[in-house]
Chains A and B, each alone.
Chain A
Amino acid sequence: MAKVRIPTPLQKLAENQAELEVSGTSVKEVLANLEAKYPGFQERLYDDKGQLRRFINFYVNEEDIRFADGEATILKEDDELSIVPAIAGG
């Protein structure tokens, strides 16, 4: 069970909740379970090649998963997965 923090524009997909408890032991599993419960996240978080979108930061606690094991990053009981748009541009 991980705590998932949802960014404001996506909260409407999850009955306006900012924080959810979702089961799973890796980022990939948690996101799949999130999609199963609240459809619509998958297409907003993954691109058409099935990769996590480059403009989103996924933090497990305080660490960005780009610099850990990406989708395979392990989530322990009570870990927090935060989905936050990256700050970037051209």
Chain B
Amino acid sequence: MKLQISSYVLDMMIYHAEKDYPEETCGVVIGPKGKSKAIGVFPIKNIQNDLHQKDPKQYSRDAKTAYFMDPTQLRIVEKEAAKKNFEIKIIYHSHPDHGVYFSEEDKAMACPWGEPNDPNLAWLVIGVAQAKANGASLFYWDEEKKDFLEKNLKQNFRSERI
């Protein structure tokens, strides 16, 4: 299913990615169930620094190179969305100073037991360098290739961002 993302939605995510620089931002975009529209942006707190401080062995990275969505916030957004017949369409996060790609860690977390928990989710990565977003791509699970395929969103970027 091809997702429709308005420039407003993309701008909201970019705004948060730039604001949270040099740490990773993260959040979800919800849309009506069964439809290919992603319309509501919900930033979720990245608790990676807290986890890293509490247990640096298990959570070896800090928020500059990792994100971990606050489980409680995530749960509330999901439940409230479901009440209105909405669901999560996009999971987004940023890469401060390390480019736009779906990293090995991103893939491993999206496929906790070797396959995606929800193959219909789209994953969006925003690249940020020196507090300015410089690119974004969507990553979709491809059941045949058993991998994530990239769709660049450069054309949706305002000209001054490129």
Contact residues in A for B103 (Cβ distance below 8 Å): 89-90
Binding site for B on A (CB under 8 A): 7-10, 44, 51, 53-57, 59, 62-64, 66-67, 84-90
> Once the chains bind, are B109 and A88 in contact (CB under 8 Å)?
yes
A and B contact pairs by CB, cutoff 8 A, 18 listed:
A7-B117, A44-B113, A55-B108, A59-B75, A62-B75, A64-B71, A84-B71, A85-B117, A86-B109, A87-B28, A87-B74, A88-B109, A89-B66, A89-B67, A89-B106, A89-B109, A90-B65, A90-B109
Instruction: Count residues of B near A (Cβ-Cβ below 8 Å).
Output: 34
Binding site for A on B (CB under 8 A): 26, 28, 44, 48, 51, 58-59, 61, 65-69, 71-72, 74-76, 79, 91, 93, 103-106, 108-110, 112-115, 117-118
> Once the chains bind, are B58 and A86 in contact (CB under 8 Å)?
no
> Once the chains bind, are A90 and B113 in contact (CB under 8 Å)?
no
A56-B112 contact given A62-B72, A87-B26, A88-B67, CB 8 Å threshold: yes
A86-B65 contact given A10-B113, A55-B109, A56-B112, CB 8 Å threshold: no
> Once the chains bind, are B67 and A51 in contact (CB under 8 Å)?
no
Complex Cα–Cα for A59 and B61 (A): 24
Contact residues in B for A63 (Cβ distance below 8 Å): 72
Contact residues in B for A89 (Cβ distance below 8 Å): 66-67, 93, 103, 105-106, 109-110
A8-B26 contact given A88-B69, A90-B105, CB 8 Å threshold: no
